[in-house]
Amino acid sequence: MISARLRRLSFLIFGLLILWEGIVFLFQLQPYILPSPDRVFLVLAAKLPLIAHEALTTITETLLGLLLGTLFGCAMALLLAFFQSLSLWLLPLVIISQALPTFAIAPLFVIWFGYGLVSKIAITVLMLFFPITSAFYDGLRQTDSDWLDLAKAMKATKWRLFWHVRIPAALPALASGLRMAAAIAPIGAIVGEWVGSSQGLGYLMLNANAQMQIDFMFATLFIVTFLALLLYFGMDYLLRLFIPWEAHEKI
Amino acid sequence: MNSRSFDVYLKNLCLWYDEHLLFHNLNWSLPSQQWTCLLGQSGIGKSTLLRLITGLSAKNSKLQGTVLITKPLAYLGQNDALLPWLTVFDNACLSARLGSYSKTEKRMIKKRAQYLLQRVGLEAVSNFYPRQLSGGMRQRVALVRTLVEENPLIVLDEPFSRLDAITRYQLQNLAVELLKNKTVLFVTHDPAEALRLGDRIDLLSGQPATIKTFARFTTSGPRDLSSPEILTLQKKLYQILSAAYSNHSGLQPTDHPFALKTAGQ
């Protein structure tokens, strides 16, 4: 199964590269409009130490943002599910957090939390908060009625029912939220860096763009995409390991 | 055995479900340490009655009258309801996690689970997860989970209806063995199953529904279904039930594969 996925993925990437090369060749595009893949890879090879160094910052921001976003999201979902009456007040807040246009308020975060790590993490957390909360909360509300009946017949207290049945039963739903979060977490960090920073892949891309080093920008973009995929599949792997009963779709 | 003592006692029970009167002044009781089978078509109020006895709320229902349950009960439904994140053993001892028990009581439950898993032949798979088991094995785990608290009253809602004929037969035998000296309420669709296992067979029919006792046995199950006495009862039971099925509002006898089967008799 894993090898089939890998084969499909490499086939897809290879196909895209050929298409890209073909377009550049066919329309005779200048490197500052769209550089050919081989050129991008040459630049990537030459600048790899620099990119790797900046990537470290972005990876740190992404992982910390993912961790904190998951913690806050889970805590909020648990609060909402455990205290039903509270959810009337908290649910609108959760929705507002998603309605805020992250890109537009990102500069504000830089003003509030500074040029460094904190503002990027805050932006990532804000982006991840909603998908995680809503996925987990949905899972907590939709416990199988057979399990609820069983627990009730065993005279389970609300707390024990929550801990032993409703939370584990909601983990597959949380897992789909976490997969989504893993896919968008790097975007949060990059947006933060784009808006104001002196480090990270977003900063590198912004600079390259400004200096019309489009091949360099593409090389960095390639690494960003690669990291995002790595994060997604890493998350997927962990979730399969810890929630083996989850009926998941293959990608 | 004291035939005068009852574990479940319903008196003048009136129950509305969605403004629809299901029971009107229903009187019914379950004698202690006997296996009572309740038969009736779907939609007649069996599950509602069962939920009432089990202490599970039925949505949109209104209740009047006396419901007396004198003993703690355990419940097993059509679905095994095993928790996929727990092993066979942990599923069997679920009550130790969910119920309010002291440490010694929890240890007792675990010991009994171990013993019962061995009795039902699942000792070797006690560290497996439910997804690794067949339907029959899963239902056996669920049976162990139902028995592990040693509750004197056991409510079974068509527990074997989803199993194939042979597995069902084996599980019926096992259940009789393990449920000795318990008060059992066994709801089923299958007249043969009721005749094989019940000490008493009650029929739920009509609108509002009433309960009539169809048969009482002095011998205990599992019975030989091919004995002439049982065959006669079976024929009679099929006749009564198919008549009830065709009388039920809006339902034609041909809607039920069950009724079709008996139409020629």
- Give per-residue pLDDT as tens, B145-183: 999 988 999 999 988 888 888 888 888 998 998 898 899
Which residues of chain B are within 8 Å of residue A150 when distances are taken between CB atoms? Answer: 75, 81, 94
> In this structure, is residue B89 part of a structural domain?
no
Q: What ipTM is given for this predicted complex?
A: 0.82
Q: Contact A160/B98, CB-based, under 8 Å?
A: yes
> In this structure, is residue B107 part of a structural domain?
no
Mean pLDDT of A60-80: 95
Q: Is the pLDDT of residue A249 over 60?
A: no
Range 128-147 of A in CB contact (< 8 A) with B:
144, 146-147
- Nearest Cα residue in chain A from B100: A156
Mean pLDDT of A94-118: 88
Number of structural domains (chain B) is 1
For residue A245, give the nearest of B79, B99, B131 by CB distance.
B131
Whole-number Å distance between alpha carbons of A119 and A107:
9
What was the pLDDT predicted at B259? 39
> In this structure, is residue B123 part of a structural domain?
no
Mean pLDDT of A169-192: 93
Whole-number Å distance between alpha carbons of A168 and A143:
10
> Highest mean pLDDT range out of A87-96, B13-22, B132-141, B250-259?
B132-141
What is the span of the domain harbouring residue B54?
A: 1-72+178-265
> In this structure, is residue B4 part of a structural domain?
yes
Q: Is the pLDDT of residue B256 over 80?
A: no
Mean pLDDT of A54-67: 94
> In this structure, is residue B208 part of a structural domain?
yes
Write out pLDDT tens, residues B80-101. 999 999 999 999 999 999 988 9
- Give residue ranges of B with CB < 8 Å to any A CB: 54-56, 73-75, 77, 79, 81, 83-85, 94-95, 97-100, 129, 131, 149
In sequence order, the β-bridge partners of residue B213 are B202
B84: CB partners within 8 A, 6+ apart:
A245, B129, B130, B131
- Interchain CB contact of A155 with B (< 8 Å): yes
Which residues of chain B are within 8 Å of residue A152 when distances are taken between CB atoms? Answer: 55-56
Mean pLDDT of A220-225: 91
> In this structure, is residue B95 part of a structural domain?
no
Helix and strand counts by DSSP (H, E) for chain B = 9, 9
> In this structure, is residue B182 part of a structural domain?
yes
What was the pLDDT predicted at A219? 92
> In this structure, is residue B122 part of a structural domain?
no
Q: Is the pLDDT of residue B1 over 80?
A: no
Q: Which domains does chain A have, with CATH numbers?
A: 43-242 (1.10.3720.10)
**Please, are residues B83 and A165 in contact by the beta-carbon 8 Å criterion?**
yes
Q: Is the pLDDT of residue B241 over 80?
A: yes
Which one, of B160, B147, B164, lies nearest residue B197 by Cα? Answer: B160
Q: Is the pLDDT of residue B110 over 80?
A: yes
Q: Is the pLDDT of residue B250 over 70?
A: no
B7: CB partners within 8 A, 6+ apart:
B30, B31, B32, B69, B70, B71, B152, B153, B183
Residue B202, domain CATH: 3.40.50
Whole-number Å distance between alpha carbons of B159 and B33:
19
For residue B81, give the nearest of A150, A156, A164 by CB distance.
A150
What was the pLDDT predicted at B247? 67
What was the pLDDT predicted at B226? 87
Phi, psi values for residue B170, rounded to 5°:
-65, -40
Mean pLDDT of A35-40: 88
Looking at B2-6, B74-78, B95-99, which range is the least confident one?
B2-6
Arithmetic mean of pLDDT over chain A = 90
Looking at A76-80, B168-172, B187-191, B249-253, which range is the least confident one?
B249-253
What was the pLDDT predicted at B4? 63
Phi, psi values for residue B213, rounded to 5°:
-80, 125
Which residues of chain B are within 8 Å of residue A144 when distances are taken between CB atoms? Answer: 81
Higher pLDDT, B255 or B198: B198
